[in-house]
Chain A
Amino acid sequence: MTNYGLVIDQERCIGCQACAVSCKQENNVPMGQFWNRVLTEGGDKIDTPSGGYPEDGGSGSLDMQYQPTACQHCENAPCVKVCPVNATYTRDDGIVEIDYDKCIGCRYCMAACPYNARVFNWDEPEQMPEEGTGDVAARPQGVVEKCTFCSHRVDEGLDPACVVNCPADARIFGDLDDEGSTVSKYINEYETDQLLEDRGTDPKTHYISGEMSPGRPQTSDKMESELDDVSPWSDGTEDVPSDADGSDSSDSGGSHHSIEGDADPHVPAVGSGGDD
């Protein structure tokens, strides 16, 4: 059975917020709300560095570590367990979604989510431009909303917008139940963490840290499973380099690899139009 998950390589993440912006655009997220954010670690605020500038000839300690955060699509999702009307539910493919027609706005799911990944539409949502953006209908006032792994795109065989639009190829989406998928291989081959593992929620988002992976292998906006071949590094016998050091591909720094098969050229999913 398919069980979708996301790997985010924090060594590749450059904190550009492209994932946050493309998510907002693709999913018609209202003004003032974000489903997807790139936080920083250690600073006074969510987007400030830790440490300080060099002073008086010292070396300084300024440091910026990025922590991209959105709904973790937990295997043991507390938000699903507390919803009295079953508006929040887990799809057969593992994606946690909200039925906005059922949601009564009790916000119990928000209280239960350890990742603060949900937002509530206190007011009538405002979009810029007014007609909205992306391919998802606006949600009404009084409901909770959050990241869906771009399920509307996944259902069409496309990767989530944040994945396609990451210029550093730091986000890799795929089937965690498929041992041959890149997400499964990276989880096996690299040091990965899940957020707040002690809560037992078993998030489907895994973070690589310590050693940089080769990143998202395909240049197409299609999901890996939709492609005949995503073997940019080899002769096709192996999709992902087996050596953890990534050898000649780990320094790609966001450049795209050549690709074989019928893969489409990389086309950013974000169109024109403003947002806040």
Chain B
Amino acid sequence: MNDPQQPRLTPIDEWEDEAEAMLDGVEYDTELGLRMARDAIRVSNGELSDAEFHEKYHEEILEEFGEDERPTKPEGFDDD
């Protein structure tokens, strides 16, 4: 069963293929979504801070979506 629409646990070595399938056809940057997904897990397990994650993708998010409303924004972060 490889239907990415259905909840299931994905072995880590299959995750990237499934993530690509989920983003297939999306009208936004697929590669950005994959990189952010990978790094979001790094944030969760402590390899990357919220602030680092926010800054790393802020410009690309703004360019792609015209806004960046992620809750990871550090205090005093300059949006401009």
A residues neighboring B (CB under 8 Å): 32-37, 39, 45-47, 67, 69-70, 74, 76-86, 89-90, 104-108, 110-112, 114-117, 119-120, 195-196, 198-202
Per-residue CB contact flags for chain B residues 46-80 toward chain A (1 = under 8 Å, else 0) read: 10001001000000010011011111100000000
The 3 closest A-B CB pairs, nearest first, are A200-B45, A78-B40, A112-B37
Contact of A112 with B40 in the complex, beta carbons under 8 Å: yes
CA distance in complex: A37, B5 (Å): 12
- Hey, which chain A residues are within 8 Å of B18, CB to CB? 116
Q: Can you list 22 A-B pairs, Cβ within 8 angstroms, ordered by A?
A: A32-B5, A34-B6, A47-B1, A77-B44, A78-B40, A81-B50, A81-B72, A84-B61, A84-B70, A85-B65, A90-B71, A106-B65, A107-B33, A108-B28, A111-B23, A112-B19, A116-B4, A116-B6, A116-B7, A117-B7, A120-B5, A198-B45
CA distance in complex: A37, B9 (Å): 11
Contact of B72 with A35 in the complex, beta carbons under 8 Å: no
Task: Specify which of A74, A78, A89, A116 is in contact with B8 (CB 8 Å cutoff).
Answer: A116
Task: Specify which of B9, B26, B27 is in contact with A116 (CB 8 Å cutoff).
Answer: B9
The verdict on A80 contacting B6 (CB below 8 Å), with A112-B40, A114-B15, A200-B46 known, is no
The verdict on A78 contacting B70 (CB below 8 Å), with A114-B15, A195-B9, A199-B45 known, is no
Contact of B1 with A114 in the complex, beta carbons under 8 Å: no
- Hey, which chain A residues are within 8 Å of B7, CB to CB? 34-37, 39, 69-70, 115-117, 119
New contact pairs (15) apart from A70-B7, A84-B65, A85-B67, CB-CB < 8 Å = A46-B1, A47-B1, A69-B7, A81-B53, A84-B64, A86-B70, A90-B71, A107-B26, A108-B32, A112-B36, A112-B40, A114-B15, A119-B7, A195-B9, A200-B44
The verdict on A201 contacting B44 (CB below 8 Å), with A111-B34, A112-B36 known, is yes
Interface size class of B (residues with CB under 8 A): 35 or more
Task: Specify which of B9, B15, B37, B50 is in contact with A108 (CB 8 Å cutoff).
Answer: B37
Nearest CB on A from B73, distance (A): 10
CA distance in complex: A67, B9 (Å): 10
- Hey, which chain B residues are within 8 Å of A33, CB to CB? 5
The verdict on A116 contacting B10 (CB below 8 Å), with A84-B64, A84-B68, A106-B33 known, is yes
